[in-house]
Chains A and B, each alone.
Chain A
Amino acid sequence: MSRRFDGVLFTLAVLLLWELLYRVVGSSGLSSPLATLGAVVHLLSSASFWKNVSATAEAFAFAVAFSLLGGLAIGLVLGLSRFAGDVFDPILNALTAIPKITLYPVILLFFGLGMEAKVAFGTIHGIFPVIILTMNGVRNIRPVVRKAARAMRLTPAQTIRTVLLPAALPEIVSGMRIGVSLALLGTLIGELFASDRGIGFMLIQSVEHSDVPTTMAITVLLFAVAVIGGIAMLRIDRRLHQGG
């Protein structure tokens, strides 16, 4: 009971801080919570907003598909072969640490402006956590589990399907959770540079037109979607880890 009360208190504190910040910075920089709410309502009821949402969603869906499927396949291969995994581990770590945004001009040169570039951008962001966590999940399966599978004389396909994948599932799902979040990030960033439609595009447009309420409204909506989606995925993740 007290926890929910604390949560409400915390939210009120944040809103208060927001209002104060608005009073300090002025309406050329921020818009008040109330004005932002108005802008959010306006957005949600405008047809152009939803067209942009579907453009982003389409690119996002492709990026997620490539990241998850590609990441899973590569991660499994690298996880099953100790040698391949050892070879690629530092390479993957180094690639993950590179800010993908330094590659955006290269992506644009290869794919041109448009959907392919956005999907490519989303994919290079989302695929690495899936690869790395899938690989680690398979590598970290306790040796005794694999020994048990051999003792039961399972075929390689059976072993992967009935023993290895379930054993590595919690970590694979963690990787996918992070991959989905990063794929969204990549798609949105791609829209900042490579598109004339989508939520990212809307954001940059409203900034360029100094339309502060709309900028904040989009920010708030993205934030809400990301947080809610993130918490939902975390719940699934946590339940898998507890059961496993």
Chain B
Amino acid sequence: MDVALEIEGVSHTFVAEGNGTPVRALDGIDLRLAPGEFFSVIGPSGCGKSTLLEIVAGLTQPTAGRVVFDGREILGEVPDGVGMVFQEDASFPWLSVWDNVAFGLRRRGTDAAETKRRVDYALQFVGLADFARHHPRQLSGGMRQRVCIARTLVLEPRLILLDEPFGALDQQTRLVMGEELLRLWRETGATVLLITHGLDEAAMLSDRIGVMSARPGRFIETLITGWPRDRDSQVVNERHFGELTAQMWTHLRAESMRSIGT
């Protein structure tokens, strides 16, 4: 199999602020993603999935193991070709929607004509072309996330990392945004690694799903969804969808209760 992203034996321990006790966040994570694959990680709260994403992005150095992207090991800095979307609203309130989306391109020194072409296209793609001159404060939460998605899209990333990008939105908006994400994925042809709480989100969006245990996080099980590439949110009507969520919950129920402390 052609490998876009390889995570080898990654473990991570960090010292908790305040009382200084060491916390084992991750315990021996192994994962290989094929190019253009959509992979979701699902697990209970605090299991370390966000930490895993930060390690893959190069924002954190793991205490053990390594991550290889595009044939090169990630060592302490974010590699070229990676786009990230976070749970919190990362749109800058002091810039217009257009300037927000153009921000990354300008930092790279992309020329004005190319920037304009890409930004206009991205805004049209996420359906915010009419709001180019608006400011984030004038937009809803879902629209602001679309700004962040557009900002990632213009950079034409080869690997897209998403940390619960729709966590702050209501359930129905989440389903709609899920479809947006699938469009983005098909448009860029990128490899996607998504962290989520939502069973239905993982089941609907992914090619494969990694189920993570409670802390210290490790993969208990990997599920293959087998959906076609041109899927949308209507897969929720499929029988297989229900089977997938049931399978996930079988594993996660015990892990979730463990992490809450019952």
Direct contact of A and B (CB under 8 A): no
